[in-house]
Structure 1
Amino acid sequence: MQYELRTQVIDPPRKTFDHLVKRYGDRPASRYEEGTIDIQAKENFHYRPLWDPEHEIYDEAFSAFRLTDPYSFTDPRQYYYAPYVTSRAAMADAVAATLDYLDSRDLLSRLPDAWSSVMGELLVPLRHYESGAQMVSCDIARFGFGTTITQCAAYAAFDRIGNAQALSRVGIALGGGTAELLGDAKTRWVEDASLQGLRRLVEELFLEKDWGKALVRLDVADRLVYSLFFAHLDDAAIDGGAGSYSLVAQHLSSWFADHRKWVDALYKAWVADPETGAANKGLLASSTAEALDAALEALRPVAARVDELVGAGAGASLESTATTIRETVAALTD
């Protein structure tokens, strides 16, 4: 007896979920839309949190930044679980390959002494900055409203731990394969005068109850930190014969460019909102100005220490980045 295999196409009885049909029309939805849109819990809460009875357990009022429709913002990267994990696995493999290469060629031990000091004194301690940013991102994911926002924040929290781990591995390689330099980095984070402003800034972020303001404050600090360490010093390292630094910096720089896509998109959604846009503009401008003053105060000692070590014009670069931030936000909020 012979059997013939045939392909059968079974048409689904409907193209997607009813709530997506109401929003987008009767069309097939993407995986991102089905896993993200209109799934924020809004009703049938059993009780208000005992630690904050003025709010529902999920509440738009946890931030002064509001969107009339939280789903007017969507992640431009369209990340849901599968593409996020695929993207980050590729990033992790690239970082691991670079660090394996540095280890196999013992390149970090060949760094000029000044650049080795930059990495040991200032770069590796940033693992604690990243760990703090992870905690802030978790807070945003918990108190944000709208799954498109909280999903991005949750992924950012995972990313921050990955960044901290990458910097930890740099410290291990720089320490000759031991964890001794990691303990030294923690001591520097807690005690070095040049890092205390940045540590204070991170710890004060833990106390910010408005998740939107916390996001702005962290973003401003990030833009200064990443521009200084992974853009400006990347170029300076190449000119200064410290190519190993540049090999490490490229990965953090690439991650930050990807991360900023959703932050910029959220800012644009805030200011473009037909009902809350005007209030959001004023709040974004004032929050950024306040955050920039605090971040500059925290990072100027860091830049000064960089200049003491390698004379890379870090202080001037920091002020230039601050000017760019002011101009960008002014263009967005005018």
Structure 2
Amino acid sequence: MSFDIKTNVIEPRRHTYAHIAKRLGGDKPATRYQEGTWDLQPTVNFHYRPTWNPEREIYDKSLTAIKMEDWYSFNDPRQLYYGTYTMARHKMMEAEESHFKFIDKSNMMTLMDTEWQQMVRDFLLPLRHFEWGANMNNCDCSDKAYGTAISQVALFAAMDRLGIAQIISRVGLLLDDSTGKSLDQAKADWLDSDRWQGVRKMLEDSFVVEDWFEILVAQNLCMDGVVFPLFYQYFDEAGQAHGGSAMSMLNGFMQDWGKDEKRWLDHLLKVTAAESTENAALLSGWAAKWIDLAIEAFTPIARHVLGDKADEAMTSIRAEITQRAKKSGLDI
């Protein structure tokens, strides 16, 4: 007996959702990023205004001075929606976990000079409080932003900052044999040390900025534009002369994350600035203001770690941020 197995091809009645097809210009196959991003945010039929601020809608374009004809003209170049985001971060964190296990097992932290171990306590551990502030700012942006394309990248960044704060905390526990004393001292430094008060003031001032797009520029372009090269490039290179190879391994997550952040942020600024001269002027003004504040705030820490090489490093960092801003259409 023989069987004749035939294959029937069933054509789908449609390839994607109606609102996606409208943007694609017809019923065409869409990517998962497009289906998981475009027009997900409700725009009509709100039942009530927010009880905490009845002057605004739940989703409100007027919460920023930036004006866009279509808030979905920005698309994340990384194509991250929740599924791909969690997979990407899981892969990054797997590598970081392996570094922690290897360093702990081989006791590599003890290979660092005693003076440099103290230096790491001075410059890195208080930064976990800055990372908490970065989480707050990105959460605020995600809450107030208009359109899923922007609100989701801000929320992804917010969650990442908690992860970075945890990594920094674990570095402290490696340094003090899990007693937690180094983290207590880091909190005291954040609250009382003179060299951290400029950073603390700048961060706390950003908490009360009303315009969410200004917060995004202040945090992700200006403050982060200083922090990631300064702490994870210049400070890391300085540590090589003091047996700091363990810290170089642990800095890997932050180094990779900083590059990843630039991709979506620079593209968002470019799309927004290209929309109108008014947008470009607003972005340029915010960037110029917060770059100056960030450079001034972090200079005392740079001088504490780098000594007479600090000013050169800060000049280079300012030039890098300025170049990125200009490529995105800002004039600063």
TM-score by length of 1: 0.93
Match of 1:23 in 2: 23
Q: SS of the counterpart of 1:313? A: helix
Q: 1:115 and 1:12 mapped to 2: Cα distance?
A: 63
Q: 2:33 and 2:93 mapped to 1: Cα distance?
A: 23
| Structure 2: 5+ residue stretches without partners | none
Q: 2:162 and 2:10 mapped to 1: Cα distance?
A: 44
1:4 is displaced (CA, Å) by 8.2
Determine which of 291, 301, 321 is the counterpart of 1:325: 321
Corresponding position: 1:315 with 2:311: yes
CA contact (8 A) 1:144 1:150 kept: yes
Q: 2:324 and 2:216 mapped to 1: Cα distance?
A: 17
| Correspondence list, 1:1-334, <5 A | 9-24=9-24, 25-219=26-220, 220-273=222-275, 277-307=276-306, 311=307, 313-331=309-327, 332-334=329-331
Q: 2:132 and 2:303 mapped to 1: Cα distance?
A: 24
1:326 is displaced (CA, Å) by 2.4
1:193 is displaced (CA, Å) by 1.0
1:80 is displaced (CA, Å) by 1.0
Moved more, 234-243 or 281-290: 234-243
CA contact (8 A) 2:176 2:182 kept: yes
1:133-153 per-position Cα deviation (integer Å, ceiling 9, x unaligned): 111111111100010000101
CA contact (8 A) 2:141 2:216 kept: yes
8 and 122 in structure 1: CA distance in 2 versus 1, 3 angstrom threshold: farther
Q: 2:249 and 2:302 mapped to 1: Cα distance?
A: 21
CA contact (8 A) 2:190 2:196 kept: yes
Q: 1:116 and 1:29 mapped to 2: Cα distance?
A: 51
CA contact (8 A) 2:93 2:253 kept: no
Q: 1:39 and 1:162 mapped to 2: Cα distance?
A: 27
196 and 80 in structure 1: CA distance in 2 versus 1, 3 angstrom threshold: same
| Structure 1: 5+ residue stretches without partners | none
Q: 2:141 and 2:128 mapped to 1: Cα distance?
A: 20
TM-score by length of 2: 0.93
1:203-232 per-position Cα deviation (integer Å, ceiling 9, x unaligned): 111111111000011020111011101111
Q: RMSD of the TM alignment (CA)?
A: 1.9
1:61 is displaced (CA, Å) by 0.9
Q: 1:305 and 1:5 mapped to 2: Cα distance?
A: 76
1:8-54 per-position Cα deviation (integer Å, ceiling 9, x unaligned): 54322111011111110221111111110012221112232343333
Aligned residue type for 1:55: R
Q: SS of the counterpart of 2:251? A: helix
Q: 1:7 and 1:315 mapped to 2: Cα distance?
A: 71
Q: 2:124 and 2:7 mapped to 1: Cα distance?
A: 58
26 and 172 in structure 1: CA distance in 2 versus 1, 3 angstrom threshold: same
3 and 314 in structure 1: CA distance in 2 versus 1, 3 angstrom threshold: farther
Q: 1:12 and 1:183 mapped to 2: Cα distance?
A: 60
1:246 is displaced (CA, Å) by 1.5
